[in-house]
Amino acid sequence: MAKSDEKITLKKGPWNPEEDRKLIAYITRYGIWNWSQMAKPAGLQRSGKSCRLRWVNYLRPGLKHGNFTREEVETILDLHQKLGNRWSVIASRLPGRTDNEIKNYWNTHLSRRLKHDLVPKTESFQIPIIETEPKSSSEIVLPPGNAPKASNAETSGAIQLPLCSSNPAGEIDKSKTFGELQSILEQSFSAQGSYKHYKKMHF
DNA sequence: AAGTCATACAACCGCCGGAAT
DNA sequence: TATTCCGGCGGTTGTATGACT
Protein backbone atom coordinates (compact mmCIF):
# COMPACT_ATOMS: atom_id res chain seq x y z
CA MET A 1 0.00 0.00 0.00
CA ALA A 2 1.42 3.29 -1.03
CA LYS A 3 1.79 5.83 1.71
CA SER A 4 0.03 8.42 -0.35
CA ASP A 5 -3.05 6.23 -0.38
CA GLU A 6 -3.17 6.08 3.37
CA LYS A 7 -3.80 9.81 3.56
CA ILE A 8 -6.78 9.59 1.29
CA THR A 9 -10.10 8.74 2.82
CA LEU A 10 -11.37 6.03 0.57
CA LYS A 11 -15.01 6.10 -0.25
CA LYS A 12 -17.16 3.11 0.56
CA GLY A 13 -20.69 2.10 -0.17
CA PRO A 14 -22.73 2.12 -3.35
CA TRP A 15 -21.19 3.40 -6.53
CA ASN A 16 -22.78 6.36 -8.25
CA PRO A 17 -23.10 6.80 -12.03
CA GLU A 18 -20.25 9.28 -12.16
CA GLU A 19 -17.88 6.82 -10.54
CA ASP A 20 -19.03 4.12 -12.93
CA ARG A 21 -18.40 6.40 -15.89
CA LYS A 22 -14.94 7.25 -14.65
CA LEU A 23 -14.02 3.62 -14.17
CA ILE A 24 -15.41 2.57 -17.53
CA ALA A 25 -13.73 5.44 -19.30
CA TYR A 26 -10.40 4.70 -17.72
CA ILE A 27 -10.47 0.99 -18.42
CA THR A 28 -11.73 1.57 -21.93
CA ARG A 29 -8.76 3.77 -22.63
CA TYR A 30 -5.97 2.17 -20.64
CA GLY A 31 -7.15 -1.31 -19.87
CA ILE A 32 -6.58 -3.02 -16.56
CA TRP A 33 -3.02 -2.73 -15.38
CA ASN A 34 -2.97 -2.41 -11.61
CA TRP A 35 -6.18 -2.11 -9.63
CA SER A 36 -4.61 -0.52 -6.59
CA GLN A 37 -2.93 2.17 -8.65
CA MET A 38 -5.63 2.71 -11.25
CA ALA A 39 -8.14 4.30 -8.93
CA LYS A 40 -6.30 7.56 -8.42
CA PRO A 41 -5.56 8.45 -12.06
CA ALA A 42 -9.08 7.35 -12.88
CA GLY A 43 -10.31 10.03 -10.54
CA LEU A 44 -11.79 7.63 -8.03
CA GLN A 45 -11.43 7.73 -4.29
CA ARG A 46 -11.93 4.00 -4.08
CA SER A 47 -9.73 1.13 -3.08
CA GLY A 48 -8.37 -1.04 -5.82
CA LYS A 49 -10.41 -3.88 -4.47
CA SER A 50 -13.57 -1.87 -4.70
CA CYS A 51 -12.82 -0.88 -8.29
CA ARG A 52 -12.04 -4.43 -9.25
CA LEU A 53 -15.20 -5.74 -7.63
CA ARG A 54 -17.36 -3.13 -9.29
CA TRP A 55 -15.89 -3.89 -12.68
CA VAL A 56 -15.87 -7.65 -12.39
CA ASN A 57 -19.32 -7.97 -10.89
CA TYR A 58 -21.22 -5.17 -12.53
CA LEU A 59 -19.62 -3.08 -15.25
CA ARG A 60 -17.72 -5.64 -17.24
CA PRO A 61 -19.15 -6.01 -20.75
CA GLY A 62 -20.91 -9.25 -21.50
CA LEU A 63 -22.37 -9.76 -18.08
CA LYS A 64 -25.86 -11.03 -17.74
CA HIS A 65 -28.06 -9.46 -15.15
CA GLY A 66 -31.40 -10.66 -14.03
CA ASN A 67 -33.10 -13.97 -13.62
CA PHE A 68 -31.35 -17.26 -14.06
CA THR A 69 -32.62 -19.62 -16.69
CA ARG A 70 -33.67 -23.12 -15.80
CA GLU A 71 -30.56 -24.40 -17.51
CA GLU A 72 -28.35 -22.16 -15.44
CA VAL A 73 -30.05 -23.17 -12.21
CA GLU A 74 -29.64 -26.82 -13.03
CA THR A 75 -25.98 -26.24 -13.77
CA ILE A 76 -25.52 -24.47 -10.47
CA LEU A 77 -27.26 -27.23 -8.56
CA ASP A 78 -25.25 -29.88 -10.32
CA LEU A 79 -21.90 -28.19 -9.88
CA HIS A 80 -22.59 -27.21 -6.31
CA GLN A 81 -23.34 -30.80 -5.50
CA LYS A 82 -20.00 -31.79 -7.02
CA LEU A 83 -17.83 -28.86 -6.01
CA GLY A 84 -19.41 -27.23 -2.98
CA ASN A 85 -19.05 -23.49 -2.50
CA ARG A 86 -16.44 -23.05 -5.20
CA TRP A 87 -18.32 -20.18 -6.74
CA SER A 88 -15.58 -19.03 -9.06
CA VAL A 89 -15.36 -22.48 -10.61
CA ILE A 90 -19.11 -22.66 -10.97
CA ALA A 91 -19.14 -19.17 -12.49
CA SER A 92 -16.57 -20.25 -15.06
CA ARG A 93 -19.16 -22.69 -16.35
CA LEU A 94 -21.82 -20.03 -16.65
CA PRO A 95 -20.68 -17.41 -19.15
CA GLY A 96 -21.83 -13.95 -18.24
CA ARG A 97 -22.46 -14.82 -14.63
CA THR A 98 -20.19 -13.79 -11.80
CA ASP A 99 -19.24 -15.79 -8.76
CA ASN A 100 -20.82 -13.12 -6.60
CA GLU A 101 -24.09 -13.30 -8.47
CA ILE A 102 -24.19 -17.08 -8.30
CA LYS A 103 -23.30 -17.00 -4.63
CA ASN A 104 -26.07 -14.50 -3.95
CA TYR A 105 -28.52 -16.53 -5.95
CA TRP A 106 -27.59 -19.65 -4.09
CA ASN A 107 -27.87 -18.00 -0.70
CA THR A 108 -31.18 -16.30 -1.39
CA HIS A 109 -32.94 -18.82 -3.59
CA LEU A 110 -31.41 -22.24 -3.52
CA SER A 111 -29.90 -22.91 -0.11
CA ARG A 112 -33.14 -22.02 1.60
CA ARG A 113 -35.08 -24.27 -0.71
CA LEU A 114 -32.65 -27.05 -0.06
CA LYS A 115 -33.29 -26.71 3.63
CA HIS A 116 -37.01 -26.95 3.12
CA ASP A 117 -36.91 -29.62 0.48
CA LEU A 118 -35.32 -32.70 1.90
CA VAL A 119 -34.91 -34.12 -1.54
CA PRO A 120 -32.74 -31.77 -3.57
CA LYS A 121 -34.09 -32.71 -6.95
CA THR A 122 -34.33 -29.94 -9.48
CA GLU A 123 -37.83 -30.89 -10.48
CA SER A 124 -38.96 -30.46 -6.92
CA PHE A 125 -37.90 -26.86 -6.80
CA GLN A 126 -40.25 -24.02 -7.30
CA ILE A 127 -37.61 -21.56 -8.29
CA PRO A 128 -38.34 -18.21 -9.92
CA ILE A 129 -36.45 -19.04 -13.05
CA ILE A 130 -37.36 -18.33 -16.62
CA GLU A 131 -37.57 -20.32 -19.76
CA THR A 132 -36.22 -19.07 -23.05
CA GLU A 133 -38.73 -16.27 -23.38
CA PRO A 134 -38.85 -13.52 -20.81
CA LYS A 135 -42.08 -13.05 -18.93
CA SER A 136 -41.74 -9.35 -18.52
CA SER A 137 -39.40 -6.47 -19.09
CA SER A 138 -37.84 -7.10 -15.73
CA GLU A 139 -37.12 -10.72 -16.52
CA ILE A 140 -35.33 -10.36 -19.80
CA VAL A 141 -32.52 -12.75 -20.55
CA LEU A 142 -29.55 -12.01 -22.72
CA PRO A 143 -30.70 -11.37 -26.27
CA PRO A 144 -29.35 -13.46 -29.11
CA GLY A 145 -26.01 -12.30 -30.36
CA ASN A 146 -25.14 -10.67 -27.11
CA ALA A 147 -23.96 -13.81 -25.46
CA PRO A 148 -20.51 -13.39 -24.02
CA LYS A 149 -17.72 -15.66 -25.09
CA ALA A 150 -16.82 -18.26 -22.56
CA SER A 151 -13.24 -18.00 -21.55
CA ASN A 152 -11.02 -18.00 -18.54
CA ALA A 153 -11.06 -14.26 -18.69
CA GLU A 154 -14.72 -14.32 -17.91
CA THR A 155 -14.20 -15.14 -14.31
CA SER A 156 -10.93 -13.38 -13.86
CA GLY A 157 -12.36 -10.15 -15.09
CA ALA A 158 -9.66 -9.78 -17.66
CA ILE A 159 -10.81 -8.16 -20.84
CA GLN A 160 -9.45 -7.53 -24.27
CA LEU A 161 -8.65 -3.88 -24.11
CA PRO A 162 -5.77 -1.80 -25.31
CA LEU A 163 -2.82 -2.40 -23.12
CA CYS A 164 -1.09 0.56 -21.65
CA SER A 165 2.40 0.65 -22.99
CA SER A 166 3.38 3.82 -21.27
CA ASN A 167 2.43 5.25 -17.95
CA PRO A 168 -1.32 5.36 -18.01
CA ALA A 169 -1.58 7.34 -14.85
CA GLY A 170 -2.85 10.37 -16.64
CA GLU A 171 -6.26 11.76 -17.13
CA ILE A 172 -9.19 9.68 -18.18
CA ASP A 173 -10.39 9.90 -21.70
CA LYS A 174 -12.45 13.02 -21.62
CA SER A 175 -13.15 12.70 -25.29
CA LYS A 176 -15.63 9.99 -24.44
CA THR A 177 -19.05 11.51 -24.59
CA PHE A 178 -21.65 10.79 -22.02
CA GLY A 179 -23.59 8.95 -24.67
CA GLU A 180 -20.72 6.67 -25.49
CA LEU A 181 -20.13 5.86 -21.88
CA GLN A 182 -23.80 5.35 -21.28
CA SER A 183 -23.93 2.96 -24.20
CA ILE A 184 -21.19 0.96 -22.57
CA LEU A 185 -23.22 0.94 -19.42
CA GLU A 186 -26.29 -0.04 -21.35
CA GLN A 187 -24.37 -2.87 -22.94
CA SER A 188 -23.47 -4.01 -19.48
CA PHE A 189 -27.10 -3.98 -18.54
CA SER A 190 -28.46 -4.90 -21.90
CA ALA A 191 -30.03 -8.10 -20.83
CA GLN A 192 -32.40 -7.00 -18.22
CA GLY A 193 -34.43 -4.45 -16.43
CA SER A 194 -31.73 -3.75 -13.92
CA TYR A 195 -30.38 -0.92 -15.99
CA LYS A 196 -33.78 0.67 -16.07
CA HIS A 197 -33.86 0.29 -12.35
CA TYR A 198 -30.33 1.63 -12.11
CA LYS A 199 -31.16 4.66 -14.21
CA LYS A 200 -34.29 5.23 -12.22
CA MET A 201 -32.25 5.29 -9.09
CA HIS A 202 -29.24 7.25 -10.23
CA PHE A 203 -29.96 9.33 -13.31
C1' DA B 1 -51.54 5.35 4.62
C1' DA B 2 -48.22 3.75 7.82
C1' DG B 3 -45.55 0.34 10.02
C1' DT B 4 -43.30 -4.10 9.97
C1' DC B 5 -41.21 -8.00 8.02
C1' DA B 6 -38.97 -10.67 4.34
C1' DT B 7 -36.27 -10.79 0.33
C1' DA B 8 -32.65 -9.68 -3.04
C1' DC B 9 -28.33 -8.19 -4.07
C1' DA B 10 -24.41 -4.86 -4.12
C1' DA B 11 -20.50 -4.22 -1.56
C1' DC B 12 -17.14 -5.01 2.18
C1' DC B 13 -13.96 -7.84 4.93
C1' DG B 14 -10.51 -11.09 5.93
C1' DC B 15 -7.79 -14.55 4.30
C1' DC B 16 -4.88 -17.02 1.03
C1' DG B 17 -1.77 -18.03 -2.89
C1' DG B 18 1.27 -16.54 -6.41
C1' DA B 19 4.46 -13.23 -8.37
C1' DA B 20 7.92 -9.94 -7.81
C1' DT B 21 11.83 -8.15 -5.43
C1' DT C 1 14.86 -17.60 1.46
C1' DA C 2 12.10 -13.98 3.32
C1' DT C 3 9.22 -10.23 2.59
C1' DT C 4 5.92 -7.43 0.26
C1' DC C 5 2.33 -6.59 -2.88
C1' DC C 6 -1.58 -7.71 -5.52
C1' DG C 7 -5.44 -10.27 -7.24
C1' DG C 8 -8.84 -13.51 -6.25
C1' DC C 9 -12.04 -16.08 -3.37
C1' DG C 10 -15.71 -17.10 -0.07
C1' DG C 11 -18.31 -15.44 3.89
C1' DT C 12 -20.89 -11.88 5.64
C1' DT C 13 -23.21 -7.45 6.14
C1' DG C 14 -25.96 -3.34 4.91
C1' DT C 15 -29.58 -1.40 2.56
C1' DA C 16 -33.20 -0.76 -0.83
C1' DT C 17 -37.42 -2.64 -2.23
C1' DG C 18 -41.64 -5.19 -2.18
C1' DA C 19 -45.17 -7.75 0.33
C1' DC C 20 -48.03 -8.00 3.98
C1' DT C 21 -50.84 -6.49 7.97
Residue A109 beta carbon within 7 A of nucleic strand B? yes
pLDDT per position as a tens digit, A5-23: 344 678 888 999 999 999 9
* Domain A70-155, CATH: 1.10.10.60
pLDDT per position as a tens digit, A50-107: 999 999 999 988 888 888 888 999 999 999 999 999 999 999 999 899 999 999 999 8
Residue A45 beta carbon within 7 A of nucleic strand C? no
Instruction: Provide the pLDDT for residue A121.
Output: 40
In chain A, positions 132-171 with C-beta closer than 7 Å to nucleic chain C are 155-158
Instruction: Provide the pLDDT for residue A134.
Output: 36
Task: Write down the domain spans for chain A.
Answer: 3-61+159-202, 70-155
| Phi and psi at residue A165, to the nearest 5° | -80, -40
Mean pLDDT, chain A, rounded, equals 67
Tell me: pLDDT of A115 over 70: no
pLDDT per position as a tens digit, A117-133: 543 344 344 444 444 33
